[in-house]
Amino acid sequence: MAKKTTLKKAFLSGNESLARGAWESGLSVACAYPGTPSTEILEAMAGYKELDVQWSVNEKVAYEVAYGAAVGGVRSLFACKHVGLNVAMDPLMTSSYAGVNAGFVVVVCDDPDMHSSQNEQDTRWVGIYAKLPVLEPSSPAEAKEFMAEAFKISEKFDTPVIVRLTTRISHTKEDVKLGKRIKVKPIKLEPNMQKYVMVPGNARIRHAFIEKRIEKMQKFAERTKLNKVEMNDTKLGIITSSVTYNYLKEVYPDASYLKLGFLYPFCDEKIKAFSKSVKKLVVVEELDPFLEEHIKALGIKKAKFKHPSFRLGELSPGVVADVINSNAKNVKKRPGRAPRLCAGCPHWVTFSVLKKLGLFVAGDIGCYTLGALPPTSALHTCVCMGAGVTFNEGLRRAHPDGKIVGVVGDSTFVHSGVTGLINAVYNKAKGIIFILDNSTTAMTGGQQHPATGWTIRNEKTKRLDLKRLCKACGADNVDVINPIGHKKELEALVKKRIDEDALSVIIAKDPCVLMKKKK
Amino acid sequence: MIMKKKTAYNITFGGIGGQGTIKASELVGFAAMYEGFHVKKSEVHGMSQRGGSVESHVRFGKKIFSPLVAPGQADFLLCFQGDEHYRLKPFLKTDGVDLMGYLKPALDMIENPRHLNTALVGVLAAYLPISNASWQKALKTVFKPSILDGNKKVFRDAKKLVK
């Protein structure tokens, strides 16, 4: 007699639920660099002892290691935030050509409304650009279910699969039913140069293959249960996806829905049939007009779309009625309190010195970006990871005698600052690069990186010595100073170095106060 | 005091980084799950440790779709601080329960300021259809053993603040 087993429930965030789903699907290897709102995916995976997980030095490296494992024959995963995917675009574009051996899933967490990001880019377009399938769960519980499908799709169609979450799914918690881990046999690794050596002759053949793959996946999009029709009252039909579906269900419980979970390639026949079956048809999506442009191209005249003002920011249950009625955005929000550097943070001292000396400060992504806000107001550029180093060089090429410095964090320096330093040395740039070393990846909640000497599972590993690294790169001076209690010394050092005909690195080193508290 | 049976209970929490806003919503989320409800809880915690505004939404019932409470739909508003209360007031239903009046009595009651979140959840618990067993289980899940007893006591005492 079959035993009745009650499945356990857990209260999981979208990120934790996705991690669980990947684990249940027989995942072996997962790699990422931290980035809000995606960070907790790898943190949750580190809790499953069967998995080989790592914080990689940056997203390109993470992607290549994880993809390499998939080519090696085990199910693998790469996770990042939307802007992190930009760093990994090089391997992503050609991995689409080469395809997979065992399943490979690319998880990307977008941040509509930029709760903690420098832009609001919409990852769905990458599906079209890279010719890869895009799956979009609408809730934490679905994030788990979709992972099982994602690995199957990857292996069935010989393709990396993009799974897109947004902040409101990543950071929503829901009670989720837990399942068991399936056993997946590793697939044999055998040389297949036509498939994995992307030289022109082979890549031309693979390009033809992926065009065919798109056609096959289009047919799959028509029949997969990930694209769900819910017929209710036919007066109003809504085509939607992601968390937006849940906002709408709250406000329009009686409407009919075409809920897209397998977003790209598009299910054209399903879209056309659904549009015929309802009286009024509205397409509701967050950010860019991704579905809108395609549905317009299908020539579905009755479809209504959101007002362009809603291409900015998040949707919410409070605004969906305006979206449905194509009204302009009219959101009155009372302002919130801005974040700032923590009390006791060593960056306070460094920024107060830079401000006092009236320097132009090139910055990038990390806690120290908060140095741009009052009262320090001493950071003048922020575009992307590592640019604190390279912007110093670029600004100085425009102003060779400018009072310009660059700042970069310790984790960010390892991520993509070190290449800029090598470039600066090689091309004879001058000035000061500050490594604001708080000995952690602070902004995302304190993750380990090579210069801390600890792994994602807090196991000891070889520690990268930043001072010796900078010297090996060829910096003329490398000074290490603790800014706390040494403001005068720091000021004197900056004054001395700024006028020298040299490229200097100042490592301002004191551990993050939040990490001290944690211990 | 417990509210009449509803299809969904909507609670909006507000505070500033470091006040325990997320922990408070976590406690309610677990308790509702242990009680057998479908629960969704949403917040943005990218900047929560840097002193910025923190806002968390918890919704539970038989079947919950939206993880966010719509403006004017919160049955309860639980804030730790005046500015955040002003900011989030538009979420409260016209007949919703504003727990701001309990902030001072709760502060007067506790000895350790870190217990404020548990105290205010204790007040909220007096209104919610969640059994004591589920609350106790949630407290045990959310707090580590070294601080569990202190929080249990504050939770119990705070319930008495509700007349």
Q: What is the pLDDT of residues A110-126, one digit of tens each?
A: 999 999 999 999 999 99
Q: What's the pLDDT at A301?
A: 97
Rounded to an integer, the average pLDDT of A278-304 is 98
- Classify residue A348 by its DSSP letter: H
Q: Judge contact between A287 and A112, C-beta under 8 A.
A: yes
Residue with more model confidence, A445 or A506: A506
The chain A residue lying nearest B37, using CA atoms, is A175
Angle between helices B116-125 and B145-159 (to 10 degrees): 50
Q: How far apart are CA A304 and CA A377, in angstroms?
A: 45
Q: Judge contact between A165 and A143, C-beta under 8 A.
A: yes
Q: What's the pLDDT at B1?
A: 55
Q: Is the pLDDT of residue A2 over 50?
A: no
Q: Is there a contact between A317 and B47 if contact means CB atoms under 8 Å apart?
A: no
Question: Is B2 within a domain?
Answer: no
A168 to chain B: which residues are within 8 Å by CB?
42, 67-68
- Classify residue A315 by its DSSP letter: -
Q: Is the pLDDT of residue A509 over 50?
A: yes
The model's pLDDT over B82-112, given as tens digits with 9 standing for 90+, comes to 999 999 999 999 999 999 999 999 999 999 9
Q: What's the pLDDT at A7?
A: 66
Q: Judge contact between A490 and A353, C-beta under 8 A.
A: yes
Q: Do domains A9-223 and A346-518 have the same CATH topology?
A: yes
Taking the domain A9-223, which CATH number applies? Answer: 3.40.50.970
The model's pLDDT over A25-63, given as tens digits with 9 standing for 90+, comes to 999 999 999 999 999 999 999 999 999 999 999 999 999
Q: How far apart are CA A272 and CA A295, in angstroms?
A: 9
Q: Judge contact between A364 and A392, C-beta under 8 A.
A: no
Rounded to an integer, the average pLDDT of A123-145 is 98
Max distance between CA atoms of chain B, in angstroms, equals 41
Question: What Å distances lie between residue A183 and A74, A180, A311, B71, CA to CA?
Answer: 11, 10, 43, 46
| Phi, psi values for residue A192, rounded to 5° | -145, 80
The chain A residue lying nearest B88, using CA atoms, is A334
Q: Is there a contact between B42 and A172 if contact means CB atoms under 8 Å apart?
A: yes
What residues make up the domain containing B40? 8-159
The model's pLDDT over A10-24, given as tens digits with 9 standing for 90+, comes to 999 999 999 999 999
Nearest to A318 among B41, B70, B88 (CB): B70
Beta-carbon pairs below 8 A across chains A and B: 101
The model's pLDDT over B1-56, given as tens digits with 9 standing for 90+, comes to 566 567 899 999 999 988 899 999 999 999 999 999 999 999 876 566 677 899 99
Q: Is the pLDDT of residue A333 over 90?
A: no
CA torsion B60-B63-B69-B72 (nearest 10°) is -100
Taking the domain A227-324, which CATH number applies? Answer: 3.40.50.920
Identify the bridge partners of residue A477 per DSSP, sorted by sequence position.
A504
B47 to chain A: which residues are within 8 Å by CB?
115-116, 339
Q: Judge contact between A157 and A216, C-beta under 8 A.
A: yes
Per the listing, tokens 């001076």 go with A477
Which CATH number goes with the domain that contains B105? Answer: 3.40.920.10
Q: Is the pLDDT of residue A369 over 60?
A: yes
What would the 3-class secondary structure string for A110-179 be?
ECCCCCCCCCCCCCHHHHHHHCCCEECCCCHHHHHHHHHHHHHHHHHHCCCEEEEEEHHHHCEEEEEECC
Q: Is the pLDDT of residue A455 over 80?
A: yes
Tokens of A422: 């090598």
Q: What's the pLDDT at A1?
A: 41
Tokens of A267: 């299910």
Q: Is the pLDDT of residue B78 over 60?
A: yes
In chain B, the number of structural domains is 1
Rounded to an integer, the average pLDDT of A206-233 is 98
What would the 3-class secondary structure string for A478-499 be?
EEEECCCCCHHHHHHHHHHHHC
* Domain range list for chain A: 9-223, 227-324, 346-518
Identify the bridge partners of residue A344 per DSSP, sorted by sequence position.
none
The reply to whether B114 touches chain A by the CB within 8 Å rule is: no
Q: Is A346-518 CATH 3.40.30.10?
A: no
Q: How far apart are CA B145 and CA A352, in angstroms?
A: 42
Max distance between CA atoms of chain A, in angstroms, equals 84
- Side chain identity, residue A412: T
Q: What's the pLDDT at A442?
A: 93
Q: Judge contact between A380 and A360, C-beta under 8 A.
A: yes
Q: What's the pLDDT at B47?
A: 63
Q: Is the pLDDT of residue A246 over 90?
A: yes
The predicted model scores a pTM of 0.96
Q: What's the pLDDT at A339?
A: 86
B26 to chain A: which residues are within 8 Å by CB?
173
Question: Is B105 within a domain?
Answer: yes
Question: Is B154 within a domain?
Answer: yes
